[in-house]
Amino acid sequence: MKLLIRNVHAVDRGLDEVTDILIEDGRIARMGAQLSEPMGEQDRTIDGSGLTAMPGLFDMHVHFRDPGQTHKEDILTGCRAALAGGVTGVLCMPNTKPPADSPEVLRYILEKAKNTGVSVYPAACITKGMQGEALTDLAKLKASGAACFSDDGRPVKNAELMRRALEKAKELGIPVASHCEDLDIIDGGIMHKGSVSAALGVKGMDRASEDSITAREIVLAASVGGRVHICHVSTKGSVEIIRAAKALGIQVTCETAPHYFMLTHEKLRSGNANDRMNPPLREESDRAAIEAAVLDGTIDCIVTDHAPHTPEEKANFTLAPNGIVGLETSLSAALTALYHTGKADLQKIVELMSIRPREILGIAPEQLCTGAPADLILVDTGQKWVVDPEKFRSKSRNTAFRGMELTGRVQMTITGGRIRYEYGNVM
C-alpha cells in the first residue's frame, strides 16, 4: 500500500519546508514538490495542507504498569495512548510487579509490545527488586534488551551502589537514569513544601530532596568518568547544578515534563489528587527556571512520566499515590506553552521530543528523508481543544490538564508505513 501526503509542512533537524511525502513498503520512498505517482485502489492520498509532518516522538519516561498492575494500564493500552499523542517510541520504567530486574520480565515486555506500532524499550532495575541493597546483573539485563538502567520510583539510597552502577554502565555503554530524591528529607511529604502545603495543612517535600541527590549523582558520574541522566527535573536548584556540571564537561543529561514548565503548586489549592505527582508541582520561580532551561538546552528533552492510577486510588487527596498520565497531551502542551508563545520553533520541539531522547539512549533517530522508515506524525498545530480525560485511550484519567484548552493536536500517526492512529477514527 502507498500513502501520498501532499502539500505538508515537513519539520525535522535541518528541514523546514512544504513538500509531498510518498510512503511505500514501510519507508519514505520520495519527498519533493508535486510528486506525480500512479495510485492503486488500495492506496491513499492525504491532503496535508495546513498540517505539519514531524518524525515520531519518543518519550523516555513512561510507566505502563505491566506486568502486575494492568488494572491501571497495560502495554497495549499504553501504546494506544502513545500513538494518539504522536509518540512512536517509549522507554518503560522498571517499577512493575515484579520489577524489571530479570531477563524474563524484559522478554515479557518486548514480546507483548511487538505488534503495537510503538517501539517499546524497557529500562531495567539498577538494584535487585528495587530494594537498593544489591546490584542486578547489569550485563545480562543489557543482553536481554534493557536500553537503560534505573530504579525510577525510588532513589538508590546507597551512594556506593550507585557509583558501582555508573561504573558498570560505562563499561556496557548504556545510560543510568536517576530518580533524584532523598527519602529522609521527604519524610512522608505529599506535595511541594511551601505556602500552599502550609495552607492545606499537609506535609511538604523540600526542594533540597531533589537538589541534593542531583548533585550526588553528578559527582558520582564524574568520579568514574561515566554518564548519568537526571529524571523529571522540577527545581531551580537542580537546573543550576546541571547547568554548571555541563559547563564543566561532566556527562549529564536530563529531562522534564510539561507540567513542570506550565503549572505550579497553586493548582493544588483545590485538593485534587490528580494534581499530585513526584516530584511535585513547585513554585513560580521553579517553573520559570525549568522553562528557561528547556529553551537554553540545559534540559535535553521533554517527557511525560506517564503514571496511570485508578479514580478510586486518586479519590483521597492525602492518601492517593503520586502520578499523572501525559502521553495524550504532551505534544499539545509543549506547543501551547512554547511554540504558540513564540519561545520555541517547531524544530526545537522536534529536538526536545523526538531527536534528543533517542540520542541519549543510543537509538537511531526517526527522520523525514528519502529511504528512512516511515515513522512520522501529522499535526494540526493550530487546532484548539479542551482536554477531556474521558476520551483518553489510556485506561486511566488522572491528568493535571483536565479541562484546559490546548492548541495543537495530532491528526495521524504512521509507523512502518501504516496508519496506526487517525484523529476522529476508532482504530
Element (H, E) at 122: strand 119-124
Distances (CA, A) of 192 to 276, 278, 280, 285, 306: 9, 9, 6, 13, 19
Cell output for 173? 555503554
Mean pLDDT of the chain: 97
The average pLDDT across 258-270 equals 98
Looking at the annotation, which residues are catalytic?
305
Block residue for cell numbers 502486575:
68
Q: Using CA atoms, how far apart are residues 326 and 319, in angstroms rounded to an integer?
A: 21
Element (H, E) at 288: helix 284-296
Per-residue pLDDT of 164-214, as tens digits, reads 999 999 999 999 999 999 999 999 999 999 999 999 999 999 999 999 999
pLDDT for 380 beyond 90: yes
What pLDDT is stored for residue 129 in this prediction? 97
Cell output for 370? 528519502
Half-sphere exposure of 405 (CA within 13 A, CB side): 4
Q: Using CA atoms, how far apart are residues 21 and 178, in angstroms rounded to an integer?
A: 40
* φ, ψ (nearest 5 deg) of residue 409: -150, 140
Per-residue pLDDT of 67-82, as tens digits, reads 999 999 999 999 999 9
Long-range contacts from 385-391, C-beta under 8 angstroms, 24+ separation: 385/332, 385/409, 387/329
Q: How confident is the model at residue 425 (pLDDT cuts 50, 70, 90)?
A: confident
Query: Model's pTM, two decimal places?
Result: 0.97
Q: Using CA atoms, how far apart are residues 219 and 169, in angstroms rounded to an integer?
A: 16
- Cα 260 to the chain's mean position, in Å? 13
What pLDDT is stored for residue 97 in this prediction? 97
Q: Using CA atoms, how far apart are residues 241 and 257, in angstroms rounded to an integer?
A: 18
Q: Which fold has domain 56-361?
A: TIM Barrel (3.20.20)
Cβ burial 350-388 (10 Å sphere, 16+ → b, else e): bbbbbbbbbbbbebebbbbeeebbbbbbbbbbebebebe
**Residue 168, exposed/middle/buried by CB under 10 A (0-12, 13-18, 19+)?**
buried
Residue 44 bridge partners (DSSP): 3
Half-sphere exposure of 24 (CA within 13 A, CB side): 12
Per-residue pLDDT of 214-241, as tens digits, reads 999 999 999 999 999 999 999 999 999 9
Which residue spans within 284-417 are E strands per DSSP? 301-302, 376-386, 405-415
What pLDDT is stored for residue 39 in this prediction? 86
pLDDT for 38 beyond 90: no
Helix (H, G, I), strand (E, B) or coil at 324: strand
DSSP letter at 354 equals: I
pLDDT for 427 beyond 70: no
The CATH code of domain 2-53+371-422 reads: 2.30.40.10
pLDDT for 381 beyond 70: yes
What are the domain boundaries of the chain? 2-53+371-422, 56-361
Distances (CA, A) of 357 to 25, 33, 253, 300, 311: 27, 31, 10, 8, 31
pLDDT for 426 beyond 80: no
181: how many CB neighbours lie within 10 A of its CB? 22
Percentage, residues of the chain above pLDDT 90: 97
What pLDDT is stored for residue 365 in this prediction? 93
What pLDDT is stored for residue 177 in this prediction? 98
What pLDDT is stored for residue 42 in this prediction? 83
The average pLDDT across 1-16 equals 96
Nearest 10 degrees: CA dihedral of 51, 86, 409, 253? -110
Residue 256 bridge partners (DSSP): 302
The average pLDDT across 16-36 equals 96
